[in-house]
Amino acid sequence: MIKTFILICTLLPFALSAKNPNILFIAIDDLKPELGAYGYTQVKSPNIDQLAKSATTFTNAHCQWAVCGPSRASLMTGLYPESTGVMDLKTKMRSINPDVLTLPQHFKNSGYFTAATGKIYDPRCVDGREKDDAASWSIPYKGVNYGKVKLKDGKRFALAPDIADEDLTDGQILLNGLELLKQANEQEKPFFLAVGFKKPHLAFVAPKRYWDLYDRNSLTLPSFREQAQGASPYGWHDSNELRGYDGIPKKGPIPMELQKEAFHGYLACVSYIDTLVGRLIKRLDDLNLRENTIIVLWGDHGFHLGDHNMWGKHTNLEQATRVPLIIYIPGQTANQSSTPAELMDMYPTLCDAAGITTPKIVQGDSLLKVIKGTEKQHQNGAISFFKSKGAKGYSYRTQRYRYIEWIKANKVDAIELYDYEQDPGETLNLATNKDYAALIKELSTQLREDGQGCKLMYKVK
């Protein structure tokens, strides 16, 4: 009888302490750090800013690929894109790695109640919009009602309908999240609840009152609107994502009035989502859960808003790879950190914070010591990957520099180097300057030391 009991215990998840924290995991599609908490004064984001006042705000955090599918698959597995095998918007994560252990799946296996709604994974890279990744969740993924209002002009790049928050898809995601939060609170175990909002992704559609927060004529767009001097041809695109919408010229210059409207729309969408985030956190507070709940807010990649004459993500440059990452742990001291951080660092960070063992296969590094203030910088640089014009590029972002290697036919075909202390706008590629040869060699070495799981770089001849 005793042997049978011992055997059963070994097959069950380890017993969780009553002190094991809940996790509220908030994803926001295409959100760059265009937030008051990051020093941007044009945007109105009071709820996210308020969260940041009691959290750790990572000011130098970067995605591993500036596209939804590969970025989210990397984040949710703690692996670089080359290790997940998801390097486009059509590869199914589990078709490449059927036994991959995702972050919420690991929490579920460890005794947590896990649930999700909205965009957490990219549906094209898992089981679709209805099932998501079934192995990750304790209960079936809660699908999204696409809103009560059907917008006839679905390809218009920006719209300001006079409707309620709940009449758009993200408002429905919020309602799902509130329902799941109530359900999670009724469990006899801690929860991992993921809520993924879809704006400010194109099209820039938000209720009119959020557009009314801004005076378009007073908004200032990025001043540097050219390619960097001496840059490689691989790091630039013609804003094809925006050009795919009605009203935007398919070729040639995009009129400034349209760019101002797009910028206005992006900010309106940020303010809309900020309100929904505030409502979600308020419900957490109303349920008296804040004192035992970790809150993580993140964007899956950045977004060019006219800088370098580009709109959209799809580059290895700062505005495409840099993301907001705000982590609140009950009892912590609020702070900002400029350590280079990667989105896939969230996997080991949350494991450490929750008292769960991190799987050995995970390639990210825990940020918990940085959050607690016992460590200032946890790694030398953050790695991002991107494919462009037949080349594959590795970007390595340190405290001060961005070093990019573009590889073609197993050879380094082009190099870019930007100094953000002297040139925050990325106006000049320093790689052709011989004075930087030693630094380039050092950064190339560090990239390879830190990039375990990035396979292509080790094939360079």
At 120-133, the pLDDT tens digits run 999 999 998 888 99
Quick one: pLDDT at residue 461?
Answer: 67
Q: Which residues pair with 419 in a beta bridge?
A: 401
Quick one: pLDDT at residue 452?
Answer: 83
Query: H or E stretch including 386?
Result: strand 382-388
Mean pLDDT rounded to a whole number for the chain? 93
Average pLDDT over every residue of 246-258: 96
Higher-pLDDT residue of 14 and 78 is 78
Residue 232 near residue 418 (C-beta atoms within 8 A): no
* 3-class state of residue 195 by DSSP: strand
Quote the tokens at residue 177: 């999240």
Extents of the domains making up the chain? 21-375, 383-459
Provide the CATH number for the domain formed by 383-459 in this structure. 3.30.1120.10
- Indicate whether 379 pLDDT > 50: yes
Q: Which CATH superfamily is domain 21-375 in?
A: Alkaline Phosphatase, subunit A (3.40.720.10)
Reference 302, options 254, 229, 241, 374; nearest CA is 241
Residue 307 near residue 224 (C-beta atoms within 8 A): yes
- Indicate whether 77 pLDDT > 50: yes
Reference 322, options 231, 364, 380, 384; nearest CA is 384
Residue 204 near residue 182 (C-beta atoms within 8 A): no
Residue 172 near residue 145 (C-beta atoms within 8 A): yes
Cβ neighbours of residue 423 under 8 Å, at least 6 residues apart? none
Residue identified by tokens 């590889």 is: 407
Quick one: pLDDT at residue 84?
Answer: 96
Amino acid letter, residue 145:
N
- Indicate whether 390 pLDDT > 90: yes
Grade residue 268 by pLDDT with cuts at 50, 70 and 90.
very high
- Indicate whether 297 pLDDT > 70: yes
Average pLDDT over every residue of 102-108: 98
- Indicate whether 19 pLDDT > 90: no
Quick one: pLDDT at residue 459?
Answer: 80
Quick one: pLDDT at residue 333?
Answer: 94
Quick one: pLDDT at residue 277?
Answer: 99
- Indicate whether 241 pLDDT > 90: yes
Residue 149 near residue 163 (C-beta atoms within 8 A): yes
Query: H or E stretch including 263?
Result: helix 256-286
- Indicate whether 346 pLDDT > 60: yes
Alpha-carbon radius of gyration of the chain:
22
- Indicate whether 150 pLDDT > 90: no
Average pLDDT over every residue of 332-357: 97
- Prediction pTM value: 0.94
Average pLDDT over every residue of 358-367: 97
Burial class (CB in 10 A: 0-12, 13-18, 19+), 339: buried
CA distances from residue 115 to 53, 134, 145 in whole angstroms, order as listed: 27, 10, 17
d(CA 284, CA 184): 11
- Indicate whether 115 pLDDT > 60: yes
Quick one: pLDDT at residue 131?
Answer: 87
d(CA 454, CA 82): 6
Reference 74, options 365, 261, 344; nearest CA is 344
Grade residue 153 by pLDDT with cuts at 50, 70 and 90.
low
